[in-house]
Amino acid sequence: MAKLIDGKAISQAIRDEVRDEIAAGGIKASLAVVLVGNDPASTVYVNNKKKACEYCGIRSVSYELPEDTTEEKLLSLIDELNNDPEINGILVQLPVPKGINEDHVIEAISPMKDVDGFSKASVGALSIGDKGFVSCTPAGIIELLKRSDIDIDGKRCVVVGRSNIVGKPAAMLLLRENGTVTVTHSHTKDLASITREADILVVAIGKPEFITSEYVKPGAAVIDVGIHRLDPEKNNGKKLCGDVKFDEVEPVAGYITPVPGGVGPMTIAMLMKNTVAAYKMQH
């Protein structure tokens, strides 16, 4: 039976730490939250980010732009926010509508305000061990491990998935913590033989319940980044699942994150931490 890594409780503890730090330090941090269009999932994420800001005592300034916003218009807003001393962090919720180039948007955000850590400057800094913003989901994974007393130093870490937002930065962070890291992906041959070597297995492939027990070494720490909607009527009332087949892997693993309530809540908690770090960097 695996020990459950409680992302809900850990993320709450981080939000409380951020709130206490803000209150004690007279910090007046503010985050610009930009949503273009009305994608329902993005709307939920953005609202949760604004709620977390309110909880922590961060001022959130919301920009809701229509679906047909031009790239030029969005880039001009980002430019304005870059130059506004009252704004410490800028978050443009992704994906942006077709017709707007995501790379242009990410690169337009000043590295000093890039609280998502998606820009080339932030990613480059992470890969050479320089200071800079680390993207929130991978940073959250490291916090989950550390706060569950799972030592990374010297451990075999296997990351399944190589996205710019999760897989690659998660690998860089595990490496920074002195893990021995292997990154696997859709072209990897005999994936299970590699994942079975992992003491720490981070799964971010976007395939529902892909990782079954034969992929997992007994006692391993399994971090599931996936989140997929299920039809509750066909799944015994279950509404969500991850990339890991929880019921099958849980008896084998030493530690496991549930979905929901594992990695998910950590992303927003780390965004709050990054926003305070941005404020401090700018003052």
Given the rule CB under 6 A, which residues bind ligand GUN?
Answer: 91-94, 116, 136, 267
How far apart, in whole angstroms, are the C-alpha atoms of residue 115 and residue 97? 21
- Output the smallest distance, CB 102 to ligand GUN, in A: 10
Determine whether 199 is an active site residue. no
Contacts of 227 (CB under 8 A, 6+ apart): 240, 241, 242, 259, 260, 264
Q: Which of 93, 113, 155, 199 is catalytic?
A: 93
Q: Closest residue (Cβ) to ligand GUN? A: 94
Is 12 designated active site?
A: no
- The C-alpha atoms of residue 219 and residue 250 are separated, in whole angstroms, by 10
Rounded to whole angstroms, how far apart are CA atoms 208 and 245?
Answer: 8
**Which amino acid makes up residue 197?**
E
Between 105 and 216, name the residue whose CB sits nearer to ligand GUN: 105
Least distance in angstroms from the C-beta of 116 to ligand GUN: 5
Tell me, yes or no, if 8 is annotated catalytic.
no
Active-site residue identified among 6, 114, 116, 224: 116
Smallest distance, Å, CB 108 to ligand GUN? 13
SS3 sequence of 51-98: HHHHHHCCEEEEEEECCCCCHHHHHHHHHHHHCCCCCCEEEECCCCCC
Looking at beta carbons only, is 4 or 112 nearer to ligand GUN? Answer: 112
- Give whichever of 31 and 256 is closer to ligand GUN, judged by the CB atom: 31
Closer residue to ligand GUN, CB minimum distance, 92 or 211? 92
Backbone Cα Rg of the chain: 19
Catalytic center residues: 49, 93, 116
